[in-house]
Amino acid sequence: DEVYTTIAEFGLDPAIWGGSADFVFDVELNPIPISYTENSPGVPLDGFLELSGTSDTVVTSATVTITGFVANEDILEFSAPGDINGVFDDTTGILTFSGNGTLTQYQTTLRSVSYRNSSEAPDESARSLDVAVHTATNSATDSRTLNVFAVNDIPILNLDDNPVEFDIDNGQLDRPKILDPNLTLSDLDTPEFKSATVQIVAGGQAGDTLGFEAFGGITGTYDAASGLLTLNGSATVDAWQQALG
């Protein structure tokens, strides 16, 4: 992480200048891993990142690289002051800063970097944020582990609020009624469902039956004693909407 430059490298006599007069060009990150949870605001790379050198050190560029980058999910955001320009490449996961600046300017810029994930089902595989800072002659690097946590979003089911009417006095005793032809089903985490139940929970009578039309490999059984229809099968949302509707 550290680059040392001696007075001797500049052609000066260390004895005259006090012997070992090394200075360090360094970038230092908090070693504690960063944690990001699905749908959270951006989390900072390190609001207390330290960039050190001499008072006249000129920084020429810097990068923040997401190792383990997942395209269409991982995002690095920032604010760059003065003449420092920043560009995030969303195909490689590399944020690049360019333009000469002081230690303070680049430290402020790097402290402004934050990570965000745009997915509703983010990949939880291991990542790190790797920082590299450069002068005309030296470079300094450091890295911080990034942990991403997905949230299990509940499925969303929408049914018509109007009651299902079954008129046994109008010759419709043997004609089934559809639960809801406009039923909608969704889940932000997955395009498939595996099971569902429909149950008569109040006012059930002898002879009540729940049936369904199979779609996409979905199978089902009806238990007359409990009024419970159980459906199983890994199928698309469209298939499950057809089966339930």
pLDDT averaged over 10-residue windows placed end to end, the chain, 245 residues: 44 43 80 97 97 91 98 95 91 97 95 96 96 96 97 84 69 66 79 85 78 82 87 86 79
Q: Are 101 and 109 in contact (CB under 8 A)?
A: yes
Rounded Cα–Cα distance for residues 111 and 48 (Å): 7
| Structure confidence at residue 17 (pLDDT) | 43
pTM greater than 0.75 (yes/no): no
pLDDT for 13 = 44
User: CA–CA separation, 47 vs 235, rounded Å?
Assistant: 46
Report the pLDDT value the prediction gives residue 179, as an integer from 0 to 100: 78
Strand order in the sheet with 2-5: 2-5, 23-28, 50-52
CA-angle at 128, arms to 125 and 133, nearest 5° = 160
What pLDDT sits at residue 33?
A: 98
171 vs 18: CA distance, rounded Å: 108
Written as one string, the DSSP assignment of 133-158 is EE-SS-EEEEEEEEEEE---PPPEEE
In this prediction, residue 245 carries a pLDDT of: 73
Identify whether the C-beta of residue 143 lies closer than 8 Å to the C-beta of residue 118. no
